[in-house]
Structure 1
Amino acid sequence: MPTRTNKVARAISGGFSALALAAALSAFGTGIAQAQEAAQEAAQEAEQSSIDVLNADIIVTATKKKDVENVQNVPLAITAFNAKSLQALQVRDLQTLTYSAPNVSLDQVGTSRGTANFSIRGLGVNSSIPSIDPTVGVFVDGVYIGVNNGLVFDVFDLGSVEVARGPQGILYGRNTTGGAVLINTGDPTPDMRANFRAFYEGPVDSGRGSGNFAMQGVVSGPLIKDVLNFKVGAYVNKDEGYFKNLYDGRNFGKAETQIVRGALEFLPTDGIRMVAKVEYFNSDGDGPAAQNHGVYKRDTFDFAVDNRGFYRNRTWFATHKTEIDVGTGKITNIFGFRDFDGATGGDIDAKPVFVFHSNTLFKQRQYSDEIRYNNRFGALDFTAGGFWFTQDLRYDELRFFPSFISPLTQIGGGRQDHDVLGLFASGDFAVTDKLTLTAGIRWSRETKDVAVTYIRPRTNCSVVAGTCPTSGTNSLIPNENNGFKDKRSWENWSPKLGFQYKFNSDAQAYGNWTRGFRSGGYNFRITNARAFEAVAATRGLSFDEEQVDSFELGVKYRSPDRKLTLNLAAFRTEVGNMQREVNEGSAAGVAQSIFNTADARIDGIEGEGRYALGKHFLLTANFGYINARYTNVLFDISSDGKVDAADKALALPRTPQWTYGFGVVGDFKLSSGKAIVARANFQHRDRFAYTDNNFGWITASDNLDASLSYKTGGLTFTVYGRNLLDQVQHGGDTQLGTAAQIPVFGGPLSHGVDQPFGQNPKAGTFSPLVRGRVLGIEVNADF
């Protein structure tokens, strides 16, 4: 039998004409046998019930071992979804998965559409400042995404999503102190396949906007059988705007998105596999639908802004993965490139009069490469590797006020060159057939070289273009500098120790201690220069690293008949030198400063499970509990001008005490290849503080989703609803300053409509709305 190596040689000798002919033949089917095989596989998939899909084994890659593993065998708290389960759950974007995992919030920050605001186990970021590193790392096809911007948009053709909870610093490096979200797009297939999907959804409530239409198509198959496979896909979305702006009565929230993706899989020999992927993403539309809680109650969708704002995002993203089998071992190399351009404009005062508007321009370009080696040496399963990452950030922020407040536009921002090097090693040693000990360590060094321009009134300039000053004295404001330049490096060691005890093939207990770090850095949004420099005189121009020590115990169980799956975990997280963005109202709207404010302790428990009730029903449930508190306060976070017991008594932001939910899936076979599938899922999340001073907060939510599908062969027709209880939620709740207290209707604003705690009742808020009730229809076709 000819080897793959010989096939490659023959393909090369045939020249480009043979390649073109092979591609054409593949596109139309390379033979009756292949067509029959594909038809049989499609028929088998059509016969598979949704119960089987959602209750099937999920394979994960989070441990970076030579062989992929069943999620139930991994000694980690991880929730995973494969392509079929994601389709069954009608996943549109990462936010959808917020209601599928305990102690997980995959929201976007409302200020800048598409910017991730992820939080896991109480560790999250409330910021759209691009120089602020996340606590939850996002990896797409194995490539770390260096900034939060441009992450929470439409997704399609996903192979899997894995949400790993708790610090993942050994294998995934810095900025994964809360956890990691691993997104794997679909790989090319060795047989011809195609998928078409379209949906239309929108509000059904009076006083809301209009609908949202999208469609996608994916084709995959062989170009050269057993040697070269391809995949191409495209996605388009046109959203007419869910909300209604009371200022002019027009729809608000319009957006258009286009995605084009291509991939090639090259198999030159039996032991080498290469996969290259490239994606172009483009999206633009309205700015945030911001509600001001000094004017409107937070349990309504009412808002009125005189500035529609805008957002524009363009991304080129490419990856190349090489896997080489070397006997019992494996070498893997993953190279990544991302080029991101984004711009936003928003009505920050969230009022129907011009008080405070803001625009931003952001550019990011990153390169990364990871190489790792896996092998098994007797009882030792060993992984080691190296990581290199570099990115260039450029950021402009422009603030606009009425001329009597600020006659000139306030302009500032920052530039940053960022380099990271890392080395890591991890090993699992099987002491017995039941007991395995784990140890790992990672060394990391990163350097940030910045030039920051304070956001102050100034003549037109651009930090992105390098025309804004970063030194000297501001001629418009006596005795105030324009900005600064600085360079700093951080170096750390992240260790891990753990154990896994397998009672049998169905049950295990595990425990681990892990240390992780969140990067130190610089603030690109300095609006109060004198206050910043007063603190910098003793603390330095940068804020320092945040250290997290996590202790976790867990159990996983799956019954021998595979009907019951149950996972439980308890954890304690010690946070040292916590980085927080302190939001304070000022005459210039909002002053956002970043400091190492406190030490904290977060205790929690969580669980998730599913139970197959007969052949037709699958029950699911999850819960999470968090008890978070400060143990030592280093900085005034209560906004009262002093550090005392009031600071220590505050609630930690982004830490709802309870989250819990349950769901049911019913699958009823009608005849061969035909079935009706019904699904409903309810999820509750407690109210939680949004800002460190607890003036901003997010209300409790009860989210109910449901769908009803009819399957016939490769076709699925679905009617679905999201947020059926029409809960009002917000992407943030930031306090504004004295500029936002200007009366709206000509008289003094004598009271805040819906203000919490001890906040100034006249102060306004910038609180972007999240969509309420949505109903939709979808058709999905697999060929």
Structure 2
Amino acid sequence: MSKPIFTQSVCAIAVAAALASPLALAQQQSQEENQKKGLERIEVTARKTAESIQEVPVAVTSVGEVELAEKGISSVVEIQQMSPNTTLQKSRGTNSTLTAFIRGVGQEDPLWGYEPGVGIYVDDVYMARPQGAVLDILNVERIEVLRGPQGTLYGKNTIGGAVKYVTKTMSGDTELAVKGTVGSYGQKDIKLSGQLPLVQDKLYFGFAYANLNRDGFGEFLTSALPNQDKENYNKDLQAYRLTLEYHASDDVFMRLNYDNTEDKSNSKGGYRLLPSLLTDAPVPDSKYDSYTSLPTWNKVENEGVSLTINWDVNDNFLFKSITSKRESYSPTNIDFDNTSLRIFDVPAIYDDEQFTQEFQLNYVDDGIKVVSGLYYFKGDSCGQYDAILDVLGNALGFDGYTSEVGGCSNSKSIAAYVQGSFDLTDKLSLTAGARYTKEEKDATVYNGVYFGTMYPQSGWVDGFVRDQALVDATNHVVLDNNADWSRFTPKLGVEYQYSPDMMLYASYAQGFKSGAFNPRATTDEPAADPEIVDSFEVGMKSDWNDTVRFNATLFMLDHKDRQYVTLIPDPDDLTINNQRLGNVGKSEATGAEVELTVLATDDLEWYANLGYIDAKFSEVKSVTPDGQPLDITDQFSITNTPKTTASLGFNYNFSSEMGDFVWNTNYYYRSKYSLVEKGNLLTQEGYGLVNMSLNWYSEDGQWSVGLHGKNLTDKEYLVGNYPFVNVAAPYSTDNPGPGTGGDTTLIGYYGDPRTVSLTVGYRF
């Protein structure tokens, strides 16, 4: 592994110089240069129609193609630095599973059957599962982050917000571009994109391809299996996208998209925060080193096809159809205990399919805009995991111990929605909308115990052959149930155009997260009902003299019927308690968000954002062993949600005889946050990241070079965890005892260390 060498003092000097120099340069600008170009108009589709971001009464951040490239942003998770009160992280155990939280609402457990709280969309196609949702930047036009419930226009599972990944449309010209990147830890990336007119002014073909490779930030120090790739936190990914665009007439446009991603990066090993009680392996020196007794390989396959048809019926009506089908398959190895023994190993398979169809009919006239539609979703989410606890089995006198759990959660939903904005006067307008959703879900869960070592498939490890007959004999169906729900989610807002450059707005919105069956059920239990979020928001969008953009939002939300596993008495025998999934929690949050852009000169732009949120549980219910109500609210905390997020940075443009340069630097801060929802044992203290980029463009616009430094002060910060320890007396949170598997399993996963990369691009 190669790693750039910087000292903390050098980084500190560089950061200070970077932040001070643009101010000095700005002060040297002459009176002639005070004539500004004006702020950029940013178009978004937050309300499913193209509008200026300053006209949309929604808290939305948009990051465009040029900004992504100039900041060296290579993955959707880096967008969290641009959007206040937003968390986008690579999950524990893999490089491709997304942990997304907005305003304290998200999904902590990515197991099949559970639903997300933040919706992920690729060209308006919903991605139902977090596996494979860590999207790399490929042929992208912009990424939008919508904060707050989006239940009217986007439907279920957007109670925290939505992240929209919008790819580029074609210009119609013949184009070819190639980018190559080299960097820290052996990074070697290649990206190729282009387009070709097949029929002039009618039919275009586009393509994009990426091959992304990087050595690990650390390594697996030991493995019980021979001939394993020992790299940890590495990257080995290929992705491509094919597009056909057909302009049938001036009024009809069709686009067929196909995308495919194969990520063969190793499973991600965690860092043991406590010494093992059952092995003599020390806690590793590096946060990126680990131990494992599983294979280190991992795979995520994700592909989808979509067809979009736009028809401008006349000057007032636009019809749109979006048809899509997506599939993902992910066999993965997660060593929960991160030792060379099979203490708590979980090889697993995730297998998902979905089909969606959306019809939109939009209307625009003087003083009125209406978006309406019908939506259909069918999704099959299946999986299987083998919890291997051989050390426990050996202690009980068996050859090993494996608990296998599997099943499917299948859902169908149909929805109708309408939302309109109406001008009441030349300054005052009203927004009103509603969505009705009808959903059906059925689930099957089976589990069983095998007194030996079992893996999901033959060949999972060298020489292993799965005895399916034995598995069938020991596994049995414990849940086979179905449920249906219907939900009406309204939105109501008012907007006041105080001046041509300032809009004030207030809104109420509601969203819901789908009901769910317990994917780890031990009995044929009923489903948990949907979660509901009610949100109130007031905000301002303003531009001042076309040089200062100041947008601010105040919000509060009430999150009801939160789904958690808790102890619930057996209805047939109140002396027996089972772990069941139920609606046992409530939480609330209040907060503020500010986004600021200052065009100091034609060449210097400052930007900042600030998010503050006070989020907490107000009620979590359980029961005592004898069936009496029990309040356990004080045991719960909102995870992945710092009270404060902030970013400050600049872009500075300057020219020379060699070409044009763009220099940008930003500082991103997150205050402390919890990583464990119940009985939190891990808190990441506040930290800041410094990033810097210098970009060069040739005079003919064909060549570009970008030098990008990320996390220049090499901060270490937690982004995920596995806590399996015992804190009940005689133990405590300061001195935990053994948990599942008989070991002190407290595992941390960390964000990327300092990296430096150089990208060279050429457009033919």
Q: Same fold (TM over 0.5)?
A: yes
Q: Is the 8 A contact 1:580 1:692 kept in 2?
A: no
Q: Which residue in 2 is equivalent to 1:441?
A: 434
Match of 1:64 among 48, 51, 58: 48
Q: Is the 8 A contact 1:314 1:341 kept in 2?
A: yes
The one-letter code sitting in structure 1 at the alignment partner of 2:648 is F
Q: Which moved more, 1:211-220 or 1:447-456?
A: 447-456
Structure 1 residue 725, shift from structure 2 partner: 1.9
Instruction: Quote the Cα distance in structure 2 between the aligned partners of 1:689 and 1:230.
Output: 47
Q: Which residue in 2 is equivalent to 1:617?
A: 604
Distance 1:217 1:346, change over 3 A: same
Q: Which residue in 1 is equivalent to 2:3?
A: none
User: Is 1:274 aligned with 2:258?
Assistant: no
Q: Is the 8 A contact 2:269 2:292 kept in 1?
A: no
Q: Which residue in 2 is equivalent to 1:141?
A: 123
Structure 1 residue 706, shift from structure 2 partner: 0.9
Instruction: Quote the Cα distance in structure 2 between the aligned partners of 1:182 and 1:636.
Output: 41
Match of 2:753 among 750, 754, 772: 772
Q: Is the 8 A contact 1:81 1:162 kept in 2?
A: yes
Distance 1:324 1:694, change over 3 A: same
Structure 1 residue 59, shift from structure 2 partner: 0.9
User: Is 1:505 aligned with 2:500?
Assistant: yes
Q: Which moved more, 1:249-258 or 1:164-173?
A: 249-258
Distance 1:651 1:230, change over 3 A: same
Structure 1 residue 378, shift from structure 2 partner: 4.9
SS at match of 2:694: strand
Instruction: Quote the Cα distance in structure 2 between the aligned partners of 1:382 and 1:665.
Output: 38
- Deviations 1:492-538 (Å, cap 9, x if unpaired)? 00001001111222111111001110011122234xx3xxx4xx7xx
Q: Which residue in 1 is equivalent to 2:10?
A: none
Q: Is the 8 A contact 2:556 2:588 kept in 1?
A: yes
- Deviations 1:270-319 (Å, cap 9, x if unpaired)? 11000111112111121112012113889952533133532211122111
Match of 1:604 among 591, 600, 607: 591
- Deviations 1:48-74 (Å, cap 9, x if unpaired)? x9x999952211111113xx1111111
Q: Which residue in 1 is equivalent to 2:311?
A: 324
SS at match of 2:382: strand
Q: Which residue in 1 is equivalent to 2:188?
A: 213
Q: Which residue in 1 is equivalent to 2:559?
A: 575
Structure 1 residue 643, shift from structure 2 partner: 6.5
Instruction: Quote the Cα distance in structure 1 between the aligned partners of 2:590 and 2:90.
Output: 25
The one-letter code sitting in structure 2 at the alignment partner of 1:291 is Y
Structure 1 residue 593, shift from structure 2 partner: 6.7
Q: Which residue in 1 is equivalent to 2:338?
A: 350
1:533-552 to 2 correspondences below 5 Å: 533=523, 540-552=525-537
SS at match of 2:89: coil
Instruction: Quote the Cα distance in structure 1 between the aligned partners of 2:262 and 2:166.
Output: 20
Distance 1:552 1:706, change over 3 A: same
Q: Is the 8 A contact 1:161 1:182 kept in 2?
A: yes
Q: Is the 8 A contact 2:587 2:619 kept in 1?
A: yes
User: Is 1:495 aligned with 2:490?
Assistant: yes
User: Is 1:230 aligned with 2:205?
Assistant: yes
Q: Is the 8 A contact 2:87 2:641 kept in 1?
A: no
User: Is 1:197 aligned with 2:211?
Assistant: no
The one-letter code sitting in structure 2 at the alignment partner of 1:498 is G
Distance 1:396 1:463, change over 3 A: farther
Q: Is the 8 A contact 2:72 2:706 kept in 1?
A: no
Q: Which residue in 2 is equivalent to 1:124?
A: 106
SS at match of 1:274: strand
Instruction: Quote the Cα distance in structure 1 between the aligned partners of 2:284 and 2:422.
Output: 54
Q: Which moved more, 1:605-614 or 1:183-192?
A: 183-192
The one-letter code sitting in structure 2 at the alignment partner of 1:223 is L
Match of 1:259 among 239, 242, 255: 239
- Deviations 1:337-380 (Å, cap 9, x if unpaired)? 10111110022102243322111111111110100101135533
Q: Which moved more, 1:398-407 or 1:292-301?
A: 292-301
Higher strand share: 2
SS at match of 1:107: strand
Q: Which moved more, 1:658-667 or 1:592-601?
A: 592-601
The one-letter code sitting in structure 2 at the alignment partner of 1:488 is A
Instruction: Quote the Cα distance in structure 2 between the aligned partners of 1:358 and 1:644.
Output: 32
Instruction: Quote the Cα distance in structure 2 between the aligned partners of 1:677 and 1:266.
Output: 36
SS at match of 1:669: strand
SS at match of 2:298: strand
Match of 2:549 among 545, 549, 565: 565
SS at match of 1:175: coil
User: Is 1:432 aligned with 2:448?
Assistant: no
Instruction: Quote the Cα distance in structure 2 between the aligned partners of 1:417 and 1:111.
Output: 25
Match of 2:692 among 695, 698, 706: 706
Structure 1 residue 461, shift from structure 2 partner: 9.1
The one-letter code sitting in structure 2 at the alignment partner of 1:211 is G
The one-letter code sitting in structure 2 at the alignment partner of 1:374 is N
Structure 1 residue 444, shift from structure 2 partner: 0.3
Structure 1 residue 269, shift from structure 2 partner: 1.2
Q: How large is the RMSD of aligned CA atoms in angstroms?
A: 3.3
Structure 1 residue 333, shift from structure 2 partner: 0.5
Q: Which residue in 1 is equivalent to 2:24?
A: none
User: Is 1:311 aligned with 2:313?
Assistant: no
SS at match of 1:247: strand
SS at match of 1:279: strand
Match of 1:396 among 359, 384, 388: 384
SS at match of 1:655: coil
SS at match of 1:86: helix
Q: Which residue in 2 is equivalent to 1:457?
A: 450
Q: Which moved more, 1:72-81 or 1:706-715?
A: 706-715
Distance 1:378 1:155, change over 3 A: closer
Q: Is the 8 A contact 1:119 1:654 kept in 2?
A: yes
Distance 1:425 1:631, change over 3 A: same
SS at match of 1:651: coil
5+ long unaligned stretches in structure 2: 1-32, 224-228, 276-281, 459-465, 568-577
Q: Is the 8 A contact 2:336 2:345 kept in 1?
A: yes
Distance 1:625 1:593, change over 3 A: farther
The one-letter code sitting in structure 1 at the alignment partner of 2:556 is R
1:656-667 to 2 correspondences below 5 Å: 656-667=642-653
Instruction: Quote the Cα distance in structure 2 between the aligned partners of 1:52 and 1:698.
Output: 46
User: Is 1:422 aligned with 2:407?
Assistant: no
Structure 1 residue 160, shift from structure 2 partner: 1.4
User: Is 1:720 aligned with 2:669?
Assistant: no
Distance 1:649 1:242, change over 3 A: closer
User: Is 1:524 aligned with 2:534?
Assistant: no
Q: Which residue in 2 is equivalent to 1:514?
A: 509
Structure 1 residue 723, shift from structure 2 partner: 1.3
SS at match of 1:102: coil
Q: Is the 8 A contact 2:652 2:662 kept in 1?
A: yes
Q: Is the 8 A contact 1:322 1:332 kept in 2?
A: yes
Distance 1:124 1:504, change over 3 A: same
SS at match of 2:109: coil
- Deviations 1:412-467 (Å, cap 9, x if unpaired)? 11112211100001111100111110100000011111110136437869699xxx
5+ long unaligned stretches in structure 1: 1-48, 203-209, 584-590, 742-750
Structure 1 residue 630, shift from structure 2 partner: 2.4
SS at match of 2:425: coil
Structure 1 residue 227, shift from structure 2 partner: 0.8
Q: Is the 8 A contact 2:619 2:633 kept in 1?
A: no
Q: Is the 8 A contact 2:84 2:610 kept in 1?
A: yes
Q: Is the 8 A contact 1:292 1:765 kept in 2?
A: yes
Structure 1 residue 475, shift from structure 2 partner: 7.6
Instruction: Quote the Cα distance in structure 1 between the aligned partners of 2:284 and 2:488.
Output: 45
Instruction: Quote the Cα distance in structure 2 between the aligned partners of 1:462 and 1:348.
Output: 17
Give the paired residue count: 684
Q: Which residue in 2 is equivalent to 1:339?
A: 327
Give identity over the alignment, percent. 23
Instruction: Quote the Cα distance in structure 1 between the aligned partners of 2:283 and 2:672.
Output: 16
SS at match of 2:343: coil
The one-letter code sitting in structure 1 at the alignment partner of 2:597 is R
The one-letter code sitting in structure 2 at the alignment partner of 1:453 is Y
Instruction: Quote the Cα distance in structure 2 between the aligned partners of 1:461 and 1:727.
Output: 37
Instruction: Quote the Cα distance in structure 2 between the aligned partners of 1:662 and 1:149.
Output: 31
